[in-house]
Amino acid sequence: MGIDGFYETLEIFILKSEAKLNLLYFG
């Protein structure tokens, strides 16, 4: 897994975290 894969995983993790926060605040 190269650096591109690392950033892709990080981006997915951040998106999932944001989705969870949105559900907490606006759900």
What DSSP string runs through the chain? --HHHHHHHHHHHHHHHHHHHHHHHH-
The CA distance from 26 to 10, in Å, is 24
Distance of CA 12 to the CA centre of its chain: 4
The CA distance from 11 to 19, in Å, is 12
Locus of tokens 């998106």:
15
- Predicted TM-score (pTM) of the model is 0.59
Work out the percent of the chain whose per-residue pLDDT is above 90: 78
pLDDT band at 1 (very low <50, low <70, confident <90, very high): low
